């Protein structure tokens, strides 16, 4: 498995991580495992402070999202889908990490946990009927599982953190677009 200087936990990814050497097949496999076996995905996710594979996964996930936004929403939303996911993930991970302070690992592991569900959600955000259920699945199913498995905090604490962050994001969305 370790060829060309790579190990299991480098940019090629661990057992459940996105593999940049096989981007398309690994992307589909990552999305399928997140959807069907999220507990297994987060149990196998390497707890290392390496930004590369998850950051590239977010960028790669922005491509189908940008194509969908270009078709369904225009050029400006497509550009936002390409540029916004990585900076947004860094800010959101800060909110989630505040809730898991005292967990076993640092901010980067919290960010790694967030990067994959966010990348999973990006294409669904462009489709009106799939966006809200996708956000609920990511925010209230995948993220609590990921935080409890990766940061080794209790399931109820993880769910509470995710509900609080979801409420904050919902309030922000309401005040930005409806108030």
> How is residue 49 written in tokens?
């402070």
What is the value of pTM for the model shown?
0.86
Q: Which residue in this structure is represented by tokens 């409890």?
A: 148
* Rg of the chain over all Cα atoms, to the nearest angstrom: 16
At 163, give phi and psi (nearest 5°). Answer: -65, -40
Residue by residue, pLDDT tens for the chain (179 residues) are: 444 444 554 444 455 677 878 888 888 999 999 999 999 999 999 898 888 889 999 999 999 999 999 999 999 999 999 999 999 999 999 999 999 998 899 999 999 999 999 999 999 999 989 999 999 999 999 999 999 999 999 999 999 999 999 999 999 989 998 87
Strands (E), 29-146: none
Q: Inter-axis angle of helices 107-125 and 143-150, to 10 degrees?
A: 160
């Amino acid at each position: 498995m370790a060829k060309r200087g790579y190990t299991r936990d480098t940019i090629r990814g661990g057992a459940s991580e996105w593999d940049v050497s096989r981007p398309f097949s690994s992307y589909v496999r990552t999305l399928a495992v997140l959807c069907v076996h999220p507990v297994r995905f987060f149990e196998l996710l390497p707890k290392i402070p390496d930004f590369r594979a998850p950051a590239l996964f977010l960028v790669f996930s922005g491509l189908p999202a940008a194509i969908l936004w270009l078709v369904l929403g225009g050029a400006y939303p497509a550009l936002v889908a390409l540029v916004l996911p990585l900076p947004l993930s860094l800010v959101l991970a800060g909110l989630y990490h505040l809730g898991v302070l005292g967990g076993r690992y640092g901010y980067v592991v919290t960010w790694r946990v967030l990067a994959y569900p966010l990348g999973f959600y990006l294409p669904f955000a462009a489709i009106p009927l799939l966006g809200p259920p996708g956000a609920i699945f990511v925010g209230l199913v995948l993220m609590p599982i990921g935080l409890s498995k990766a940061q080794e905090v209790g399931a109820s604490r993880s769910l509470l953190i995710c509900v609080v962050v979801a409420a904050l994001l919902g309030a922000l969305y309401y005040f930005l677009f409806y108030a």
